[in-house]
Structure 1
Amino acid sequence: MEHTSIDRLRTALLLVAVVSLLSGLALHLAGRTDLAGFVWFAGVVPVLISLLVEILRCLWRGEVGLDIVAALSMTAALVFGETLAASVVAVMYSGGTFLENFAEGRARREMHDLLSRVPRTATRHRNGGLEEVPLDEIEPGDRLLIRQGDVVPVDGSVTSKAAFVDTSALTGESLPARLSRGADVMSGATNAGEPFDLTATRLAKESTYAGIVRLVEEAQRSKAPMARLADRWSFGFLVVTVAIAFAAWWLTGDPIRAVAVLVVATPCPLILAVPVALVAGLSRAAHFGVLIKGAGPLETMARIRTLILDKTGTLTDGRPRIVSVDSHDGMDQSDILRLAAALDQASKHPVAQAIVAAAKVQGLTLPVPTEVAEIPGEGVVGSVEGHKVIVGGDDFVARRVGRTAEGHPALSAGAVLVAVAVDGHMAGHLVMADPLREGAGEMLEGLRRQGIERILLATGDRAAVAERVTEGLGLDGLRAGLTPDQKVLLVLTERKNGPVMMVGDGVNDAPALAAADVGVAMGARGAAASAEAADVVLLVDRIDRLGPGIEIARRARRIAVESVVAGIGLSVAGMIAAAFGYLTPVQGAMLQEVIDVAVILNALRALRIQPYEPVASQAVIDDGPDGLAVKGSI
């Protein structure tokens, strides 16, 4: 509401200034110069009063802006009878603020589109029927119907056989994704296929999309360090401007030259180009699934020299996956997986849940286990379809069936070996691992090309596991076995090499994310604490989004700096020309208007930034997205 009233005021002031200027010109051409001067004077006064009010507000906040130059130029022009020049300055200033508002509005359009998609209600299954309910009434466990074209209202998992969803508004992905039963779905995605059922896993206010909306609103209210730096520079520019104007008047005795100097310096592109370019960068980054919480983090992100990565859930997927199923007694591999997953339905252990998820991806029907007993940290024992099944660590299962644990000859550091026994016989093994995320190596190479000088791994895992997982990545350092406070210490230590970015996803990463110059959280599955502490949130569970985000930040900042340097250079040149009498006040005003429009249009180039994205592998694993590869006996 406040922004709407300000927009209307700026529009009204521009209309008053333009009408006054044109009316005065018509009267002047008709020979009524005295009346023309009065009309020009009358049109300048509302703009000048509004400007003085804004200056007083800034001074009250302890800010000295370049609006003072605009006020001085209009006042001086009126005092010395240059009412036409004052009118041109009034049109120039009100037009500049209008253009700035228009440019920022265009830059924010993608964010507004994101906000406008917030669903208000959802369709819930209840007592054999469907009901339309407000989002606040949805509870975890509720089954919702997501119709074609609907925006997913809350985070949840697919209950139907499959779903076809479009996440382009959140992640920039152009192609919809096909999700199998049990797959997680982010709120804010759009159903691009047939209707499907979704089981809610979070309240609406705690879901991904609600968090994104809050972060976008925070980003829109932010002010960049470069913008604050521009405010500090404005005092120096103000002093230089007044000095040149005074010198021109003092040395020539002509006050009109001083007026021309003040006019050509108003308003400085410094206060226009920076916010437009950085807000455009925010919008562009959001389009690629990188939500930056404000222009300040974006500006800092552009200067990052050191990158510190967490391992589990960040550099790796964070969810153990089955890489092979080995049969020892001739039992079919799918039967081994089905019996193991059926029994593991009774366990909440992450490895057990990964086995269940892999079986569901394979489309296996899982019977309900009975007589289940779980030994924490060891394994699970129970009955499945009349078979005595044991699932757990190799030693645990081997002792139960009277065998010696044989291990696995191809087991690598960081992998987990799950043994499966059926009816007293060792049926086989499931080999599980937490592999590197797809494209992690290419991403790190791309970051080095963008100027990242040091890339470190910081993990609480064992050194042997971390070294094995990151082998061949060319990291500059590896710190294993770290506690949360030790990660913070690492961040603070690395600051001697320049600004530091920390990327993590867990609660234990939150302190280090807060300590870093820029903290980046994996927002899709990461802990809420890490997302709150971070300055940047990756909206999709893909680490390769980091590269485009940093590239957009660097290019947006470069565009802002280019606009400022070019604008100030042209302004100073115009001021010198005016001081030597080569520009009249009216000509100076017209020149500055051209400069302002040019730097705003240049700043809007940030909306067209197209970051480099490595071509993702198109290989498809027949057995499903969890990457299950079924192998024979060893």
Structure 2
Amino acid sequence: METSRSDRVKTAVLLLAAAGLIAGLALYFTNQPIAAGILWTAGVLPALATLVIEILRSLGRGEVGLDIVAALSMTAALVFGETLAAAVVAVMYAGGSFLESFAEGRARREMHALLSRVPRSATRHRNGRLEDIPLDEIAPGDRLLIRQGDMIPVDGLVASDTAFLDSSALTGESLPVRLGRDDEAMSGTTNAGEAFDLTATREARDSTYAGIVRLVEEAQASKAPMSRLADRWSLGFLAVTLVIACSAWWITGDPIRAVAVLVVATPCPLILAVPVALVAGLSRAAHFGVLIKGAGPLETMARIRTLILDKTGTLTDGRPRIVSIVGRDDNDPDQLLRLAAALDQASKHPVAQAVVSAAQERGLTLPVPTDVAEFPGEGVAGTLEGQYVIVGGSRFVAERVGQQIREDPALDDGAVLVAVAVDGRMAGHLVMSDPLREDAGAMLHRLRALGLTRILVATGDRARVAERVTDGLNLDGLRSDLSPDQKVLLVLTERKRGPVMMVGDGMNDAPALAAADVGVAMGARGAAASAEAADVVLLVDHIDRLGIGIEIAGKARRIALESVIAGIGLSVLGMIAAAFGYLTPVQGALLQEVIDVAVILNALRALRIAPEGGRVSSDIRTAEA
């Protein structure tokens, strides 16, 4: 609400300043200079008032920004009757503030579509009926119904015979887990199987999900504010301006020369060129599926030297895939996959859907099963082309055919077996795992080329799984078995070396994303909590967009710096000319306009940034639509 009100104020100030300038010029050219001066003054006062308020707030925080130079130039111009010059300065300043606000507001609006997973209510059993209640009304001992696809709202114990939960967003484990009666289920996990009952053991505010939200809030509160590029130049520019203006007044005794210096010195290259270049960079990054939430994160992104990556959903797809097919008695692997996938069409289980997708990718024709019986969390049985087929966990299938299956060594490294039996005999099994993304190695190599000097992986997975997945990658460190608060601690430790970027997609990554100098969320399939806490969201499921975003940020910042250096240099030359009496305040304002046009045109080059290897694919264009 407060941010929205600030945006409306900036828009109104710009409209008033522009209207005052234009209407005043109309009156001036119809020989009504007094009325024109009144309108120019009326357009300046709102901008000056908001400027003074912002200056007082900045000084209260111990900050000195560009606002002081702009306020001095407007005030001096009004005091000495140079109302046209004051009006021009007011429009330029209000325009710069509006551009920054516009960029940040667009990022906020695009985030609304990513916040759909946060639970706000629960379904409770009460007197033989079901009722929907707000989360804060859940009490320990309440029996809740958790439907398929629901996120568990509070910590509790499974009150049904079995539950099948996807905890990837919470713990980083990519494969769903099976829980039995009285096993503990954490809030934030998702029901990947049939509906089950849960007995609440904690209130919502004390549950795992709420604890992670508190960690996010604490991390955001302790995070140092991002320093704007423009403000880092402001103190030196302010000192140079005051020295030239005061010297011109003291030596000549003419205050108008000081006014002219101040008008020429209005830091429009900083006020306008920097936000224009950065907004253009934001727009260009969004074109490639990288949503950066404002100019501050983009600037910081360009200076990152340390990167911390989550594993699941970031370096890996976060979805189970078939890594091998082992057939018994010379069974053809493709035929084994075809039978398993055909039967799994009748199941919504994530592993079953992965098997179906693998078969479809190979172009296999899948017959329709009949007499299907599904055992939630265990497997599926049914008839296919006159054969009785069973697909599921190795123990489940072995019990039904009276045969044992040899456990694959890959299981110790985080893989699972999907066994297949045909007409009462074991036919073989599929080995499923969450493999490394194909482009992960190339992505890390490119990030090194872009200037990152330290790359680490931080994951909640077991050490053996993490080591297997990241084997062969050029990493500077691997941290496994990490809880959300341990990830935050790692980020804070690495920040002592310099700016840190954290990349993740799960709810368990959200606190670390908030604590990092730049947090990056995989927004296409990631948790809403991570997207909300992050400074940057990759809108498509392509990790290579990270390198593209960093490259665009670096080039946009460089273009902004070029504009600033050129503009400030020209402004200093103009101030010297004004100090020697070669420019009146109005001429100084017009000269500053010429400088503004030049630096803005240069800043707009950021719209044409072409990252190496960057190409907008069809899925990115779909995301933008």
Q: TM-score, normalised by structure 1?
A: 0.68
Distance 2:71 2:290 in 1: 40
- 3-state secondary structure, aligned to 1:543: coil
Q: Aligned-pair distance for 1:384?
A: 2.5
CA contact (8 A) 1:559 1:603 kept: yes
- 3-state secondary structure, aligned to 1:565: helix
Q: Aligned-pair distance for 1:305?
A: 1.1
Distance 1:432 1:274 in 2: 50
Cα deviation code 1:38-66 (max 9, x no counterpart): 46644543344344333343345446765
Partner of 1:214: none
Distance 2:576 2:554 in 1: 33
Residue 92 of structure 2, aligned match among 86, 91, 96: 96
Alignment of 1:562-573 (within 5 A): 562-573=562-573
The amino acid across from 1:13 in the alignment is G
Matched, 1:328 2:324: no
CA contact (8 A) 1:51 1:67 kept: no
Partner of 1:12: 19
Closer, same or farther: CA 306–366 of 1 in aligned 2, 3 Å: farther
Closer, same or farther: CA 616–335 of 1 in aligned 2, 3 Å: farther
CA contact (8 A) 1:17 1:47 kept: no
Alignment of 1:412-451 (within 5 A): 413-451=413-451
Q: Aligned-pair distance for 1:346?
A: 6.4
Partner of 1:172: none
Distance 1:50 1:617 in 2: 46
CA contact (8 A) 2:13 2:46 kept: no
Cα deviation code 1:444-493 (max 9, x no counterpart): 11111111111111222233332332233211112223232322222222
The amino acid across from 1:251 in the alignment is I
Closer, same or farther: CA 412–364 of 1 in aligned 2, 3 Å: farther
Partner of 1:146: none
For these two proteins, the number of residue pairs brought into alignment is 498
Alignment of 1:592-631 (within 5 A): 592-613=592-613
Structure 2: segments with no counterpart, 5+ residues: 1-7, 115-146, 149-224, 619-625
Distance 1:447 1:585 in 2: 49
Q: Aligned-pair distance for 1:546?
A: 0.8
Q: Aligned-pair distance for 1:411?
A: 8.8
Partner of 1:55: 51
Distance 1:241 1:327 in 2: 80
The amino acid across from 2:383 in the alignment is V
For the aligned residues, what is the CA RMSD? 4.1
CA contact (8 A) 2:347 2:374 kept: no
Partner of 1:511: 511
Q: Aligned-pair distance for 1:112?
A: 12
Partner of 1:590: 590
Partner of 1:465: 465
Distance 1:281 1:112 in 2: 16
Distance 2:410 2:109 in 1: 51
The amino acid across from 1:528 in the alignment is A
- 3-state secondary structure, aligned to 1:269: helix
Partner of 1:364: 366
The amino acid across from 1:458 in the alignment is A
CA contact (8 A) 1:13 1:94 kept: no
Distance 2:499 2:95 in 1: 34
The amino acid across from 2:566 in the alignment is A
Q: Which moved more, 1:239-248 or 1:284-293?
A: 239-248
Alignment of 1:377-456 (within 5 A): 379-380=378-379, 382-385=381-384, 387-394=387-394, 397=397, 401=401, 403=403, 405-406=405-406, 413-456=413-456
Partner of 2:143: none
Cα deviation code 1:129-168 (max 9, x no counterpart): xxxxxxxxxxx99xxxxxxxxxxxxxxxxxxxxxxxxxxx
Alignment of 1:242-321 (within 5 A): 242-321=242-321
CA contact (8 A) 1:397 1:419 kept: yes
Closer, same or farther: CA 40–337 of 1 in aligned 2, 3 Å: closer
Q: Aligned-pair distance for 1:543?
A: 0.9
Q: Aligned-pair distance for 1:520?
A: 1.3
Q: Aligned-pair distance for 1:105?
A: 10
Partner of 2:575: 575
- 3-state secondary structure, aligned to 1:438: coil
Q: Aligned-pair distance for 1:515?
A: 2.1
Q: Aligned-pair distance for 1:250?
A: 1.8
The amino acid across from 2:367 in the alignment is T
- 3-state secondary structure, aligned to 1:365: coil
- 3-state secondary structure, aligned to 2:544: helix
Distance 2:74 2:616 in 1: 58
Cα deviation code 1:544-573 (max 9, x no counterpart): 111111111222222222222322232223
Q: Aligned-pair distance for 1:395?
A: 6.4
CA contact (8 A) 1:519 1:536 kept: yes
